[in-house]
């Protein structure tokens, strides 16, 4: 790995300690596990039909099979329990797609 990847890997614990929330990951390749991730909640979309408004959520997890989920476990069928709002009750959401990945973290869009 190059120095940029080394810096990313070293900063994961700092970001998780500051911004992380507990989530439960249900990969299709193994047993569920509790990990710390960064839940990014966006503003509600304004549609012409108010019944179709959603609160988009994405999740950043360490790119690791123990502390997060690894690229080798990736498929679009695994699920996670995340709080819809910080400190709130967790809800089960399905992974829609991976939107970005580097040596340290993978960002997932949830639906």
Q: Which residue has the tokens 């911004």?
A: 19
The residue with greater pLDDT, 31 or 75, is: 31
Q: Specify if 48 maps to a domain.
A: yes
Spatial CB neighbours of 108, under 8 Å, sequence gap ≥ 6: 58, 59, 60, 61, 80, 95, 96, 97, 98, 99
Residue 17 lies in a domain: yes
Report pLDDT digits (tens) over 33-60: 999 999 998 765 555 555 554 557 899 9
27-31, 46-50, 59-63, 69-73: range with highest mean pLDDT = 59-63
Domain count, the chain: 1
Q: Which residue has the tokens 């193994």?
A: 30
| Domain presence at residue 110 | no
* Assessment of whether the complete model's pTM goes beyond 0.85: no
Q: Are 59 and 37 in contact (CB under 8 A)?
A: yes
- Domain span including residue 80: 3-105
């Amino acid at each position: 790995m190059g120095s940029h990847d080394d810096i990313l890997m070293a900063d994961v614990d700092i970001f998780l300690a500051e911004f992380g929330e507990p989530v439960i990951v249900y990969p299709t390749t193994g047993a569920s596990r509790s990990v710390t991730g960064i839940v990014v909640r966006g503003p509600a979309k304004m549609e012409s039909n108010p019944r179709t408004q959603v609160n988009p959520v994405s999740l950043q997890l360490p790119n690791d099979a123990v502390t997060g989920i690894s690229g080798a476990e990736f498929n679009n069928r695994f699920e996670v329990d995340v709080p819809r709002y910080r400190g709130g009750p967790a809800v089960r959401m399905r992974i829609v797609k991976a939107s970005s990945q580097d040596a340290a973290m993978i960002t997932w869009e949830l639906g």
